[in-house]
Structure 1
Amino acid sequence: MTTNPPDSDLLLLSLVSGAALYLVVGLVTPRGSPVPVLVAVFVFSNMLSRTTFFQTLVRKTRLAIDKREWALPWIALEPIGVFTENSAFAALPKLLQLELLQAISSLEDYASNSRKTNDRRRSLFRLMSWRQQKLCDEAGYSRKLKEIDASIGKNQAVFSAIADAAKKNYGISYKDSSAMIKQKATKSTSSSNYRVVESMGHFIRDWADSKETSPLVNYIFKHLDDIIPKDEVEKTCIIVPGSGLGRVAHEIASHQKYGAVHAVEFSGLMHCCNQFVYEAASKSKHVLVPYANSTSNYLTSDAQFREVEFPAATTKPSNLHLHLDDFCAFQVPEAQKYENVVIVSVFFIDTAENILDYFDQINQLSAPSRKSKTKNGYWINVGPLKYGSAARAELNGDEIAHIRKSMGWRDIDTTNTLESPEAINKNGLLPYITDEKSLWQGFYGVTMWCTAHKDNLRKRN
């Protein structure tokens, strides 16, 4: 396997090559011809584009454009509102402000949007003949539609509390939010009612029932304990990108007294829900009717309308930090304090539009370098490979393993649960936001690995 030479070597080679070609081409072209200069510039720029510095600059520039940070001044936006200088909301980039406000708006509009869907069911029901409607009503269909409305009201009470908590946490007033919500976010993950409904499944997965997350956490703990010596725990920083409602990050932060655990989530909706779990003012458990919005795949109404409690007054570990941020732009606060950096990606890498952007960022955050004090970088991954509709590269497990090695990673462990089901359970399949009382069940086989950067100060046999 070949690795890229350091930037200094590439720059020296480009200068020497450019100068040599300039002299050679100058001997065979007329005096005053621009060809020698053009050839030398072409060679130099081509070599410069291969440097890590240049590639990182291009990637960050593209990410900035994608985030609309530079484009926003040319978009017709209404006034955002006035926030105090120390407002957490004012400190966010424009795109994340939009994302957060879209999340709050979606949470507050859940009942309205959901009841519109239920009213459409009623309208479609009335298109049936009188005899057919009577048969359905005798079976309890109209009562079920009324129960859906009642359940929506119960859910809205929880979502309104989440929205209020987010406004308080970020210092957003009613006037400010009303002005901001008028903006149309071009890349919001929180602007649809579907996402709010989906969040109830995440509450259950993360905070009401641990059977979906415990196999993931067990694998992570096993390898964290293997790669981080006990006397280096407090010198270790762990980053959990795409942290969702935060159970995995919470368990990691509680497992050992790591120097810092950073949960990084781009979805304003998931971030607000994660924050709400730790709200000190919430002293009692909250009740959701998580399956009320769907009328598909249920054998009984009792199964559809069963209520689920999730704990609210969960104490947030002191070393856990929640960030509303784009992982590809995230920088570790006080990074110089940590000798070990571990990226823990869980059901995350296949969410990328460009999966190599994720890999580049993982390298940048964790690879040992002369400039940072990081001595050892590690990466633990657990998840499927289910790509979205706009992925620029849909890589399989073997291709990802090849790229890891090419980028300087040396695997400590690799496990495919289809081949080694005993790594997690009997059949190697993990449920994901699935309802055991539904006729539809969702399961994934997952690819798991623990890998160390080849430049780590601590070497393994």
Structure 2
Amino acid sequence: MKETRQEDSQAEREEIQALTSTLNSLLIYRQAAHHNLTIPRRKAFQKLSENHINLLRPYYEDHLNAIDAAIEINADVLAHIASIGSNEFMAPQERSEWKQANAFQVDQTRSSLKQIFRDWSADAASEREICYGRVLSELNCRYPSEQRSQTKVLIPGAGLGRLAFEIARAGFISQGNEFSYHMLILSNFILNHTTGPNEFTIYPFIHTFSSTAQQGNQIRPIRFPDICPSQEMAVMSGDFSYSQGSFTEVYGRDGNAPSASFEKWNVVATVFFIDTAHNVLDYLDTIYTILDDSEESCWINFGPLLYHFEEEQSRSTTVSGRQGLEDIDSALSIELSLDVLIQIIKDRGFEFLKLETGIKTTYATDERSMGTWIYDSVFWVVRKKQ
């Protein structure tokens, strides 16, 4: 019993550290953004020859000033979100007890601004339609409106919650699941604390100077949310909830419990999610366990196979003297090609109802950029073999 209490206490401390370091990453955005974006460029500008300084000054200095102003606006929004998040997630009141943010978390904060753009701005509606639109269309076709209030849909890796919200808006019982505190804090703010459409302004594209056709593109404002979730939830028929934690830990099989003890879901919907696993087979096991056995139940998936931990695993394997290669287990990554993954899904006990490959997809991409990353994504609908 004593050992269990110690483990619980340690887990609680780690959870508080994860929360407070994330909150700190939102608060230090202002300092970090100025330090990384405009301060070094001003220093570089001053080192140029007088002739080059005179040529650049009319264009460069004003642009850096505009970026500084945009940083301030971003920082004010993030500080507001952090203030609400610290209360909602019950962070320690004394900031001295908060854990400092690391470089990775600061980078996640920058990325979060693009996530807001992707999920909750009118500007990214066409990008959402390609992925979320397919999932919603499939759900609407499979389940008549009179069945939706009894149809439970789970969305692992729900991010900022737009897909989970839209599924509830269509009349389903929808539950998003998310592990990242960045996503949890920001989604809580957008879903529960915005009061009207286009209430806030951010500048998500200021962090990249390359591939910019016009200076104005880099500093153009994005308004969010394009619709107000709290206003919509007051009148919509569907049920909407959120769970916090790792998908496999929250929903996965407990070795001491019979499978009948697990809550069953009619649909599991995954978008840009399955490649976030250390081992995608763990995701398959969990989905198979929680998916209802009925003929109507299904797993809907959309996304690429950009395995998130591949590079981390490669970096963790280092030459270690006489021992040769030393592997760090925490960086485990199992990467499967699409053809192998499809076969393993079949072997695991699923059958394919739909399979579409080569769908051109972007992710939180500035469509005005001179260079964008385009995925060949896959869309499938599978069910348990009957």
Q: TM-score range by the shorter chain?
A: 0.7 to 0.9
Distance in 2 between the 1:363 and 1:220 partners? 19
- Tell me, in whole angstroms, the C-alpha distance in 2 between the residues paired with 1:216 and 1:162: 27
Displacement of 1:135 in angstroms is: 2.1
The alpha-carbon distance between structure 1 residues 147 and 106, as it changes in their structure 2 partners (threshold 3 A), is same
Give the secondary structure class of the aligned counterpart of 2:166: helix
Is 1:414 equivalent to 2:318 in the alignment? no
CA 1:225 to 1:292, structure 2 compared with 1: closer, same or farther past 3 Å? closer
User: Which residue of the partner structure matches residue 240 of structure 1?
Assistant: 155
Q: How does 1:278-289 map to 2 (within 5 A)?
A: 278-280=191-193, 282-283=195-196, 285-289=199-203
Distance 1:293 1:71, change over 3 A: same
- Assess, with a 3 A threshold, how the Cα gap between structure 1 residues 105 and 395 changes in structure 2: closer, same or farther: same
In structure 1, distance between residues paired with 2:61 and 2:33: 16
Select 2:246's aligned residue among 299, 303, 326: 326
Flag the 1:442–1:410 CA change in 2: closer, same or farther, 3 A. same
The aligned residue for residue 250 of structure 1 is 165
Query: Residue deviations 1:225-271, cap 9 Å, x none?
Result: 45446554333221111111111111111112x2x311111111111
Matched, 1:120 2:40: yes
CA RMSD, Structure 1 to Structure 2 (Å): 2.8
Local SS of the residue matching 1:192: helix
1:161 is aligned to 2:80: yes
Between the aligned partners of 1:99 and 1:153, the Cα distance in structure 2 is 25
1:268 to 181, 189, 195: 181
Moved more, 222-231 or 232-241: 222-231
Deviation at 1:93, TM superposition (A): 4.8
Q: Is the 8 A contact 2:24 2:98 kept in 1?
A: no
1:17-96 pair list within 5 angstroms: 70=7, 73=10, 93-96=12-15
1:443 aligns with 2:363: no
Describe the superposition over 1:302-323 as per-residue Cα deviations: whole angstroms up to 9, x where unpaired.
Answer: 1111111112732264621122
Q: Which moved more, 1:402-411 or 1:304-313?
A: 304-313
Write the deviation string for residues 174-193 of structure 1: whole angstroms up to 9, x where unpaired: 31x430325x78xxxx9432
Aligned partners of 2:159 and 2:178 also within 8 Å:
yes
Residues 252 and 261, structure 1, Cα contact 8 Å, conserved in 2: yes
The AA in structure 2 aligned to 1:131 is N
Separation (CA, whole Å) in 1 of partners of 2:277 and 2:291:
19
**Aligned-partner SS, 2:174:** strand
Q: In structure 1, the residue corresponding to 2:354 is in which secondary structure?
A: strand
Q: Quick one: distance in 1 between partners of 2:204 and 2:7?
A: 40
Q: Secondary structure at the match of 2:268?
A: strand
Cα separation, partners in 2 of 1:444 and 1:331, compared to 1, 3 Å = same
For residues 390-428 of structure 1, the C-alpha deviation after alignment (integer angstroms, 9 at most, x for no partner) is: 362221221111111111111111111x2xxxxxxxxx4
Q: Which residue matches 1:343?
A: 268
Separation of aligned partners in 1, 2:48 and 2:106: 28
Structure 1 vs Structure 2: percent identity of aligned residues?
25
CA distance in 2, matches of 1:354, 1:97: 27
Q: Distance in 1 between matches of 2:275 and 2:67?
A: 34
Whole-angstrom distance in 2 between the partners of 1:447 and 1:281 = 34
| Structure of greater Rg | 1
Q: Deviation at 1:102?
A: 2.0
Query: Which is helix-richer, 1 or 2?
Result: 2
Q: Out of 277, 281, 289, which is 1:364 matched to? A: 289
| TM-score (norm: length of structure 2) | 0.80
Q: Please report how far the alpha carbon of residue 153 of structure 1 lies from its aligned counterpart in structure 2 after TM superposition.
A: 0.3
The 1:173–1:72 alpha-carbon spacing in structure 2 relative to 1, beyond 3 Å, is closer
Q: 1:136 to 1:72 in 2, by over 3 A?
A: farther
* Counterpart-to-counterpart distance in 2, 1:203 and 1:302: 20
Query: Match for 1:431 among 362, 369, 375?
Result: 362
Sort the Cα spacing of 1:308 and 1:214 in 2 relative to 1 into closer, same or farther, 3 A.
Answer: same
> Which runs of 5 or more residues in structure 1 are unaligned?
1-68, 74-91, 369-373, 419-427, 456-461
Check 1:300–1:269 CA distance in 2 against 1; reply closer, same or farther (3 A cut). same
Counterpart of 1:53? Answer: none
- Matched residue pairs, number? 343
Distance 1:103 1:394 in 2: 29
> How many Å apart are 1:382 and its aligned residue?
0.3
Alignment deviations for residues 108-146 of structure 1 (CA, whole Å, 9 cap, x no partner): 1101100111212222233322332222214x2122212
1:180 pairs with one of 76, 89, 98: 98
**Structure 2 match to 1:87:** none
Distance of 1:195 and 1:375 partners within structure 2? 40
- Asked if 1:303 corresponds to 2:217, the answer is yes
Contact 1:349 1:355 in 2 (8 A): yes
Separation of aligned partners in 1, 2:380 and 2:40: 47
Letter in 2 for 1:234: S
| Partner in structure 2 of residue 453 of structure 1 | 384
Aligned match of 2:21: 102
What is the rounded CA distance, in whole Å, between the counterparts of 1:339 and 1:266 in structure 2?
20
Change in 2 beyond 3 A, CA 1:339/1:279: closer
CA contact (8 A) 1:262 1:320 kept: yes
SS of equivalent residue, structure 2 residue 270: strand
**Other-structure match for 1:215:** 130
